[in-house]
Structure 1
């Protein structure tokens, strides 16, 4: 029995079970035809609930936040649902299997990077991938009405990939980018543009920005903002560290995940939030041996979490990646992917001393990291063959 008792008035004593079973008032229907008893019977249970009354279902949908666009590219649009840690990628081209490939390759890469963390301590992050939903998935039954509907993106079920959202740069960093790269007459408007809050910075160490004093100043946007090698140099960023981190990532892609790296991209975004990173777990027997009141913080919390970085370099966009074999054929595939792909990595023979110097850093780190992954295996000579092949392909002679 559940009772509610008050000292002031004994008439307030209510037997909830009796009220539900015997009081005819509980048979009253609401305007949607659902009795109070039926509603409570569905809610007040620890068993599975197969369905909710339609008004309850509508209420749950109404309190969920609509999806909001946070980025786009030539082949996809990306949304967030405020209040959740997820991003939702939807293709806008008729290549549905590309999104499925993105799903499988990203999971493969993420698992590979995590699995080798004790061997290669890289600073690059890979977004966790959650799930893939096709056009007939139950996901759309409860989420379709929450997506925007506009002439360029009609509201209809599509294939969608859910993954960890990379959080944008902090406001101070965004404002600094606007101050440096936006036309002075547009700075105020750019800082007040809500879309510029969704800022990830693409790092392209293999290209230059051109000669414009304020690139893109007519409609300045921080979405998909590109920072080229000369701008990295101008800002005095640690370009060598960026090149080394990219080298780690490519070595892990090739020799741990065993994929060619076609079309991958690198962006600077906020570091993954870490509340407590535990290096070990305390179990009751060990805890019982400690004096009461002993601090266990220093025993189980990683020291690296005491001073977390503000930003991280993130690796993403795996839709064009393909598996490679651990032989000469796989090396040729990896070389072709590097040469045909974008200019995120530094390149040899660039006719630019800064990019060439970053290539030297990149090669040294790539070979070093790849050696840890392939040492003592039949593939141990392949990383050097990859570098040699890239230099031959990009040689001006």
Structure 2
């Protein structure tokens, strides 16, 4: 019987215990989300990544699951052998089959529970079958100021903010460099806007990995979920499209203009590697990399100014309501 190991806006993700190295992503999520799009982008990205690695020496530490097939709900022969493996009520639907990203091992899960889970819920998490499907989302663009461990804790797609990663000595700066190279390859080699892609930390193939950590052990940086990605043009319009996607994505990417020096340092490292990789792909004569970075920095500055204006207006309205005189 198939076991569900995840669910997102695009659909649910399942594994067959008899073939644990593969996952099946069913198109049973929200409207306008498509595993067909996911499949198309996935298969276009793989050869571009291969070329960047072998001929440019870029994104050598970015892993993407292997693509094994897209099966439509009308594929009666394929569904004949698999329909009964899903629980009752699950109809035939378009399904994407890919390599499974390995979950983090028991030792790593135990350490994450001890570090970040409230003491009174640790035992329940340890006994939870779904928490064995543990992947970590590295949020390089967000800090958390929570003083106590969360009562609502799950290891499935566990987000770690940058300060949490720093506290357990994860190689945050190396992640930033790796993400920067991967993003440059997606933009300038594959011509994709990277909209709503996800990164996870998990063991590499055969249990290895490019990074090492006392808490997570050997692990790699995987990228997945391409169903919202769109093709882009290599011009000002494409830069605007890519920058907008960057800013609205989950906070995997470092953000410019932080008042926290450590975050600004991560941004500078990301920025430098991104520009270096961009020049290697596009040639030193291209300004696209610089234009993209400047656009991001402008968007962040505009966001800050808008927030200040809103806060000022709210303060004035509150003063008027309280009967105070506003000059």
Fold agreement, TM-score > 0.5: yes
Q: Does 1:78 align with 2:17?
A: no
Aligned to 1:120: 57
How far apart are residue 75 of structure 1 and its match? Answer: 3.6
Distance 1:364 1:249 in 2: 13
Which 5+ residue runs of structure 1 have no aligned equivalent? 1-65, 276-303
CA distance in 1, matches of 2:168, 2:30: 40
Counterpart Cα distance in 2 of 1:108 and 1:316: 13
Deviation at 1:325, TM superposition (A): 1.0
After TM superposition, the score normalised by the length of structure 1 is 0.70
Select which of 196, 207, 230 maps to 2:142: 207
Kindly state the Cα deviation for residue 314 of structure 1 after the two structures are TM-superposed: 0.3
d(CA) in 2 for partners of 1:274, 1:394: 39
Q: Is the 8 A contact 1:96 1:159 kept in 2?
A: no
Deviation at 1:166, TM superposition (A): 0.2
SS at match of 1:112: helix
Task: Label 1:130 to 1:383 Cα distance change in 2 as closer, same or farther (>3 A).
Answer: same
Contact 1:167 / 1:271 at 8 angstroms: preserved in 2? Answer: yes
1:370 equivalent among 266, 275, 278 = 278
The aligned counterpart of 1:100 is 36
Equivalent residue number for residue 385 of structure 1: 291
Matched, 1:91 2:24: no
Asked if 1 retains the 8 angstrom alpha-carbon contact of 2:9 and 2:33, the reply is no
What does residue 252 of structure 2 align with?
A: 344
2:82 partner SS: helix
Is this contact kept in 2: 1:264–1:315, CA < 8 A? yes
In 1, the alpha carbon distance for the partners of 2:102 and 2:222 equals: 11
- Asked whether the 8 Å contact 2:186–2:193 carries over to 1, the reply is yes
153, 167, 176: which one aligns with 1:243 = 176
CA deviations on 1:75-130 (whole Å, 9 max, x unpaired) are 42111112322111113235466211111111111221112212124211011111
Identify the residue that residue 113 of structure 2 maps to in structure 1: 178
Give 1:353's match in structure 2, choosing from 253, 256, 261: 261
Counterpart of 1:130 in structure 2 is 68
Give, in angstroms, the shift of residue 74 of structure 1.
Answer: 3.5
Shift of 1:370: 1.1
- The counterpart of 1:146, out of the listed 75, 85, 109, is 85
Aligned-partner SS, 2:205: coil
Name the TM-score, length of structure 2 as normaliser: 0.85
Displacement of 1:376 in angstroms is 6.0
Tell me, in whole angstroms, the C-alpha distance in 2 between the residues paired with 1:75 and 1:321. 12
Give, in angstroms, the shift of residue 161 of structure 1: 0.6
Q: The residue matched to 2:34 in structure 1 has which SS?
A: helix
- Report how many residues are paired: 292
The answer to whether the 8 A contact 1:120-1:369 is kept is: no
Q: Which runs of 5+ in 2 are unaligned?
A: 211-216, 306-327
2:160 pairs with 227, 230, 249, which one?
227
Verify the 8 A CA contact 2:113 2:122 in the aligned structure 1.
Answer: yes
